[in-house]
Amino acid sequence: MTRDSFIWVYDCKICLWWFSLNRNVALTSLAWGLFFILIGLSLVAMVYGVDVIPHVALGVGIILIGLNITRKGLGMMLSKFSLFIGIVAFALGGAVLLGFTAVPWYAMIIVLIGLFIIAEAAASLRKPKVNQ
Protein backbone atom coordinates (compact mmCIF):
# COMPACT_ATOMS: atom_id res chain seq x y z
CA MET A 1 0.00 0.00 0.00
CA THR A 2 1.12 3.49 -0.65
CA ARG A 3 1.21 6.35 1.76
CA ASP A 4 -1.77 7.91 -0.02
CA SER A 5 -3.97 4.95 0.89
CA PHE A 6 -3.98 5.87 4.57
CA ILE A 7 -5.28 8.74 6.62
CA TRP A 8 -2.28 10.33 8.30
CA VAL A 9 -2.70 12.44 11.40
CA TYR A 10 0.33 14.47 12.47
CA ASP A 11 0.45 15.60 16.08
CA CYS A 12 3.87 17.13 16.79
CA LYS A 13 6.25 14.17 16.62
CA ILE A 14 3.60 11.46 16.72
CA CYS A 15 2.40 9.99 13.45
CA LEU A 16 -0.73 7.86 13.68
CA TRP A 17 -2.31 6.06 10.78
CA TRP A 18 -5.83 4.81 10.78
CA PHE A 19 -7.98 2.81 8.39
CA SER A 20 -7.31 2.69 4.72
CA LEU A 21 -9.59 4.95 2.73
CA ASN A 22 -11.90 2.14 1.75
CA ARG A 23 -15.02 4.10 2.59
CA ASN A 24 -17.35 1.13 2.47
CA VAL A 25 -15.33 -0.71 5.12
CA ALA A 26 -15.09 2.44 7.24
CA LEU A 27 -18.83 3.09 7.01
CA THR A 28 -19.67 -0.53 7.80
CA SER A 29 -17.33 -0.44 10.80
CA LEU A 30 -18.99 2.75 11.98
CA ALA A 31 -22.43 1.15 11.69
CA TRP A 32 -21.28 -1.93 13.65
CA GLY A 33 -19.83 0.31 16.34
CA LEU A 34 -23.11 2.20 16.66
CA PHE A 35 -24.97 -1.11 16.78
CA PHE A 36 -22.86 -2.41 19.66
CA ILE A 37 -23.29 0.86 21.55
CA LEU A 38 -27.06 0.53 21.04
CA ILE A 39 -27.03 -3.05 22.31
CA GLY A 40 -24.89 -2.14 25.32
CA LEU A 41 -27.14 0.75 26.30
CA SER A 42 -30.17 -1.50 25.84
CA LEU A 43 -28.70 -4.10 28.18
CA VAL A 44 -28.17 -1.39 30.79
CA ALA A 45 -31.78 -0.20 30.33
CA MET A 46 -33.07 -3.76 30.70
CA VAL A 47 -31.56 -3.90 34.19
CA TYR A 48 -33.95 -1.09 35.13
CA GLY A 49 -36.97 -2.87 33.65
CA VAL A 50 -37.32 -0.87 30.42
CA ASP A 51 -38.85 -2.67 27.43
CA VAL A 52 -36.08 -2.05 24.91
CA ILE A 53 -37.13 -4.23 21.97
CA PRO A 54 -38.98 -1.50 20.03
CA HIS A 55 -36.20 0.99 20.79
CA VAL A 56 -33.55 -1.42 19.53
CA ALA A 57 -35.56 -2.10 16.36
CA LEU A 58 -35.97 1.64 15.76
CA GLY A 59 -32.26 2.22 16.44
CA VAL A 60 -31.20 -0.55 14.07
CA GLY A 61 -33.46 0.91 11.41
CA ILE A 62 -31.98 4.38 11.86
CA ILE A 63 -28.41 3.01 11.72
CA LEU A 64 -29.00 0.98 8.53
CA ILE A 65 -31.00 3.68 6.75
CA GLY A 66 -28.39 6.27 7.76
CA LEU A 67 -25.63 4.01 6.48
CA ASN A 68 -27.28 3.79 3.08
CA ILE A 69 -28.03 7.54 2.94
CA THR A 70 -24.35 8.18 3.65
CA ARG A 71 -23.29 5.71 0.97
CA LYS A 72 -25.56 7.44 -1.54
CA GLY A 73 -24.21 10.85 -0.50
CA LEU A 74 -20.64 9.67 -1.10
CA GLY A 75 -21.54 8.29 -4.53
CA MET A 76 -21.30 4.65 -3.50
CA MET A 77 -23.77 1.90 -4.30
CA LEU A 78 -26.55 1.25 -1.82
CA SER A 79 -26.88 -2.10 -0.13
CA LYS A 80 -30.43 -3.09 -0.98
CA PHE A 81 -30.46 -5.80 1.67
CA SER A 82 -29.37 -3.58 4.55
CA LEU A 83 -31.68 -0.83 3.34
CA PHE A 84 -34.64 -3.23 3.34
CA ILE A 85 -33.77 -4.59 6.80
CA GLY A 86 -33.41 -1.01 8.03
CA ILE A 87 -36.80 -0.01 6.68
CA VAL A 88 -38.48 -3.07 8.20
CA ALA A 89 -36.79 -2.55 11.58
CA PHE A 90 -37.64 1.16 11.57
CA ALA A 91 -41.27 0.50 10.64
CA LEU A 92 -41.76 -2.25 13.22
CA GLY A 93 -40.04 -0.36 16.02
CA GLY A 94 -41.90 2.84 15.18
CA ALA A 95 -45.24 1.05 15.01
CA VAL A 96 -44.78 -0.48 18.45
CA LEU A 97 -43.65 2.84 19.95
CA LEU A 98 -46.68 4.58 18.41
CA GLY A 99 -48.99 2.01 19.99
CA PHE A 100 -49.87 -0.14 16.98
CA THR A 101 -49.37 -3.41 18.82
CA ALA A 102 -52.40 -5.10 17.27
CA VAL A 103 -50.88 -4.95 13.78
CA PRO A 104 -50.17 -8.43 12.41
CA TRP A 105 -46.41 -8.23 11.84
CA TYR A 106 -46.32 -10.83 9.08
CA ALA A 107 -48.83 -8.76 7.08
CA MET A 108 -46.76 -5.62 7.59
CA ILE A 109 -43.62 -7.40 6.43
CA ILE A 110 -45.42 -8.65 3.29
CA VAL A 111 -46.62 -5.12 2.53
CA LEU A 112 -43.08 -3.78 3.02
CA ILE A 113 -41.67 -6.43 0.70
CA GLY A 114 -44.25 -5.37 -1.91
CA LEU A 115 -43.27 -1.71 -1.51
CA PHE A 116 -39.62 -2.67 -1.87
CA ILE A 117 -40.34 -4.54 -5.12
CA ILE A 118 -42.35 -1.59 -6.47
CA ALA A 119 -39.55 0.83 -5.59
CA GLU A 120 -37.01 -1.40 -7.38
CA ALA A 121 -39.22 -1.55 -10.48
CA ALA A 122 -39.75 2.22 -10.46
CA ALA A 123 -36.01 2.81 -10.13
CA SER A 124 -35.25 0.53 -13.06
CA LEU A 125 -37.86 2.30 -15.21
CA ARG A 126 -36.24 5.66 -14.53
CA LYS A 127 -32.78 4.51 -15.62
CA PRO A 128 -31.94 5.60 -19.16
CA LYS A 129 -31.40 2.71 -21.52
CA VAL A 130 -27.87 2.32 -22.82
CA ASN A 131 -27.55 1.45 -26.51
CA GLN A 132 -25.57 -1.72 -26.92
Residue 7 domain flag = no
What is the pLDDT at residue 42? 93
Query: Rounded CA gap, 130 and 9, in Å?
Result: 44
What is the pLDDT at residue 39? 94
What is the pLDDT at residue 132? 54
pTM: 0.67
What is the pLDDT at residue 131? 62
Q: How many domains, the chain? A: 1
Query: Rounded CA gap, 65 and 54, in Å?
Result: 16
Q: Which DSSP helix (H) or strand (E) runs through 82?
A: helix 80-97
Q: Residue 28 sits in which domain range?
A: 22-126
Query: What letter represents residue 74's amino acid?
Result: L
Residue 16 domain flag = no
Number of helices (H) and strands (E) in the chain: give both, helices first: 4, 2
Residue 52 domain flag = yes
Beta strand ranges found along 21-117 (DSSP E): none
Residue 17 domain flag = no
Query: Rounded CA gap, 107 and 116, in Å?
Result: 14
Per residue of the chain (132 residues), give pLDDT as tens.
Answer: 444 444 444 444 443 334 445 788 888 899 999 999 999 999 999 999 988 888 998 999 999 999 999 989 888 888 888 888 898 889 888 888 888 776 676 777 788 778 888 887 887 787 776 665
